[in-house]
Amino acid sequence: MLIPADPFHAFVDYPDVPVANAPSGTLAGLTFAVKDIFDVAGYKTGCGNPTKTEDAAPAAHHAPCVAALLDEGARFVGKTHTAELAFSLDGRNEHFGTPENPAALGRVPGGSSSGSASAVAGKLVDFALGSDTGGSIRGPASFCGLIGLRPTHGRIDIGGAMPLAPSLDTVGWFARSADVYERVAAVLLGEDKDGPALKRMTIADDAYALLAGAGEDAAVRPGIARVGEFFEPTGARVIAADGLAAWAQVFRTVQGYEAWQSHGNWIKSRNPVLQAVVRGRFEAASRISAEEYRAATTKRAQISETIEAILGDDGVIVLPTLPTVAPRLDADEATFESFRAQALLMLCTAGLSGLPQISLPLGLVYGCPIGISILGPRGRDRALVRVAGEILAS
| Catalytic annotation, residues | 35, 112, 136
Judge whether 113 and 150 are in contact, CB under 8 Å. no
DSSP string for 127-140: EEEEEESSSTTHHH
Looking at the chain, the number of H-run helices and the number of E-run strands are 12, 10
The backbone torsions φ and ψ at residue 165, rounded to the nearest 5 degrees and listed phi first, read -130, 95
Sheet with 200-204: strands ordered across: 75-80, 31-35, 127-132, 170-175, 147-150, 357-365, 368-375, 315-320, 200-204, 232-237
Judge whether 375 and 349 are in contact, CB under 8 Å. yes
Q: How many Cα neighbours within 13 Å face the side chain of 59?
A: 26
Rounded CA separation 259/256 (Å): 5
Judge whether 52 and 96 are in contact, CB under 8 Å. no
Rounded CA separation 341/89 (Å): 10
Rounded CA separation 166/360 (Å): 26
